Amino acid sequence: MKGRLESVKKYLKSVLIGIVTGAANGLFGSGGGTIAVPAMVLLLKTEEHKAHATAISIILPLTLVSAFMYIKSDFINWDITIKVMLGGIAGGYIGAKLLNVCPANILRKIFGIFMVLAAFRMLF
């Protein structure tokens, strides 16, 4: 019975992480990873590398839904989108390769620094 209760708790935590991540992604156009990664590490006890990789696969469907809504509302600047998308594809490949060789403690520090800089930038 205890194992089943733990399984239900983990399921509910996962769904809650998904709701918060999806709302942030849809509202801000980004930010899902900054919520999903720490939440998976802290709440679901997911290993650092798996949390980062899982966040990417979580964000894909969220982004598709958000993109559909933005396209429908005619908010997309296609000239910028195509150029940034090409760079993003190359950057995504490079980042995925680097994730495979980056130790977890270094990855955590880089991610933390990125989050602090992003927060500072948004505040000032």
| Angle formed at CA 84 by CA 83 and CA 85, multiple of 5 degrees | 90
Q: Which structural domain, as residue segments, surrounds residue 9? A: 2-123
pLDDT-based confidence at residue 34 (cuts at 50, 70, 90):
confident
pLDDT for residue 103 is more than 80: yes
In angstroms, the CA 47 to CA 37 distance is 10
Residue appearing with tokens 């955590």: 108
Express each pLDDT in 36-95 by its tens digit: 999 999 999 999 899 989 998 888 888 888 889 999 999 999 999 999 999 999 999 999
Number of structural domains found in the chain: 1
* Contact predicate 76/70, CB 8 Å: yes
pLDDT for residue 32 is more than 80: no
DSSP 58-111: HHHHHHHHHHHHHHHTT---HHHHHHHHHHHHHHHHHHHHHHHHS-HHHHHHHH
